[in-house]
Amino acid sequence: MLFDILTIFPELLASPLREGILRRAVQAGHIDVRLHNIRDYALDRHKMTDDRPFGGGEGMVMKPEPLAACIRDVQSSGPPARVILLSPGGTTYTQQEARRLAGYPRLMLICGRYEGVDERIRQAFVDEELSIGDYILTGGELAAMVVVDSVTRLLPGVLGCEDSARNDTFSRSLIKHPQYTRPREFEGMEVPEVLLSGDHRAIADYRFLESVKETLKRRPELLADVRFTREEEKLLRRAGLDRQIRRTVQSGTDHA
């Protein structure tokens, strides 16, 4: 999969690509991440990529000419890219969005700065806008890396174990179950005995129920989107969680 990232600070993005899973994914050829400096497409000798907004107001706005030239140049090589602007006004980014984007062969991520980009870039070049949350960053670079990281780990072969991505938190709108490792006892706290039993079915059932409990406690609104299997429904009934889930979902519906 090919990622093209358009930014005025390419060095800000270079370091994460040299570490961990992203580095291994690049080395194995699962992804190719190309950083494009928008300043290289500026028209003046000072390489200006921003200017004051028409109509007055605070801050600066990214100029359309360098961005348009950069987008066109990047699009001219290779397959067409899905053009995404990282913006606080975009669709909220979720695990479901990550899975959707993983289906594209190429993504172009535009990192906005200052007060945003000229509206004409949005109208003429952008396919969609994404926001990683309801807060403001100084630029879209960190948001772009969130997209690259979350999409990359969904690609076949990247994690080595496909179950790892399938069982992640939010993979099916459930918080992941609590995790434990050695030592068995830490400051008076013991690892649950079932995890030491070697009974894989019992462990799977335990982890499923703990995942549901964690979701009820911390993110109950997520349960409205969960579809349980018949076996899972039996487990929930035996654990007395089925009624609690129905009340939680109904309460969310009533307040919607």
- At 245 the three-state DSSP class reads helix
DSSP codes, 113-126 = BTT-B-HHHHHHH-
Which residues make up each annotated binding site? 112, 132-137
The reply to whether 64 belongs to the active site is no
Which residues make up each annotated binding site for S-adenosyl-L-methionine? 112, 132-137
Active site residue: 53, 64, 88, 220, which one?
A: 88
Active site residue: 168, 210, 214, 221, which one?
A: 168
Active site residue: 40, 65, 97, 115, which one?
A: 115
Closest of 230, 211, 231 to residue 219, by C-alpha: 211
- At 128 the three-state DSSP class reads strand
CA distance 140 to 86: 5
CA distance 95 to 103: 13
What would the two tokens of residue 202 be? 């019992």
Report phi then psi at 95, rounded to 5: -60, -35
The reply to whether 39 belongs to the active site is no
The reply to whether 178 belongs to the active site is no
The reply to whether 168 belongs to the active site is yes
CA distance 74 to 40: 12
Active site residue: 113, 118, 141, 153, which one?
A: 153
- What amino acid positions are annotated as catalytic residues? 88, 115, 153, 168
